[in-house]
Amino acid sequence: MVTLRIKDIGFSYPGVPVLKGVSLEIIPGEILAIVGKNGAGKSTLIKCMNRILEPDRGKVFLGERQLKTMKGKDIAKSMAYLSQKASYIFPVTVFDVVLSGRYPHRAWNSDRKDEARVGEVLKMLELEDLAMRYFNELSGGQQQQVLIARAIVQEASIFLLDEPTSDLDIKHQLEVMETVRRITRNRKVSAIITIHDLNLASRYADRIIMLKNGLIFAAGSAASVLTGENISEAYDVQVVVNQIDGKPHIIPLRPIRK
C-alpha cells in the first residue's frame, strides 16, 4: 500500500489563487470525499495530487518519494485519475479504453496477459456485454464503470475520482458509489472523490474534507463535518440535517443572502 501525503500545497491560475495551503494524508483503504461549493478548489486539489497540475508551493509525497521527482509512468502505477467528463475524440471500444490502463506497465505493446486481465476485470464489474461497444455511445453511468475498470487494470492503489456522480440519475449514482465501495473494501484501494451530493458523501465516505476558499474548513467523519452550521458557512445555504441510518441527511432549504 502506498500512502499519499500532501503538505501545505498552494495553486493559482493566473491571477486567481485557488488552493491556499492544504495539507492532508490519505489512509489506505478509505473513501475520502472532498466537498465544497463550486470554485472552492475540489477538482484543483485532486489534480494537484497526481501532477496533472503542478502546485505552486508545498509538497506531495507518494510513499517516501516526492511526486515532483517521479516519472509519470511510476506515478500512474500507483494512482489512477477518472476525469469528470471523459470523451474520446475518435471512437474506441470499451475494451481498448480499459486496455489503456496497462500503458504505464508496458514499454511497448500490450500483450496477451494484459488482454486477459482486461477480460477478467470486465467480467468482475459485469461489463462483458459492453466490451466491443464504443465508449462514447455508452450512458454516463456505464462510462464511469468503464473508467473504474480501467483504473483497476492500471493496478493503482489510489483512485482519484473527479465528480463521478454529477451527470448520473439516482440509480446510477448509487451503483457507481457501490462499485467504489466494493473496490476499496476488497482490494484495499483508497478512493478520493470530489462530490456535490452531500448525502452520497455522508453515506459512502469514511472521511470528509470540506473546502472553503482554497482551505480546509472542516475535516473528519460525516457526523462531525456535515453539521448545519458548517454547511451554512461553507455553502451559504440554510439546511436541515436529519439522521438516516445513523448518518447525517441534509435537506437544503434556501440560499443565505449576504
Give the nearer residue to another protein in terms of CB position, either 39 or 91: 91
Min CB(109)–another protein separation in Å: 7
Min CB(141)–another protein separation in Å: 18
Q: Which of 208, 176, 210 is nearest to 192 (CA)?
A: 208
Give the nearer residue to another protein in terms of CB position, either 16 or 108: 108
Give the nearer residue to another protein in terms of CB position, either 88 or 186: 88
Which stretches of the chain bind another protein, using CB under 8 A? 47, 50-52, 71-77, 79-81, 83, 86-93, 95-97, 100-101, 103-104, 106, 108-110, 115-116, 118-119, 122-123, 128, 131-132, 154, 160
**3-state DSSP percent of the chain in helix, strand and coil, to 5:** 40, 30, 30
* Alpha-carbon span 250 to 28, nearest angstrom: 28
**Torsion 189-195-197-201 (CA) sign:** positive
Give the nearer residue to another protein in terms of CB position, either 65 or 249: 65
Min CB(172)–another protein separation in Å: 21
Tell me how many degrees the CA angle 144-2-57 measures, rounded to the nearest 5. 85
User: What is each CA distance from 87 to 11, 50, 79, 102, 137, in whole angstroms?
Assistant: 26, 20, 20, 19, 10
Give the nearer residue to another protein in terms of CB position, either 130 or 216: 130
* C-alpha cell at position 79: 494512482
Min CB(132)–another protein separation in Å: 5
Min CB(138)–another protein separation in Å: 14
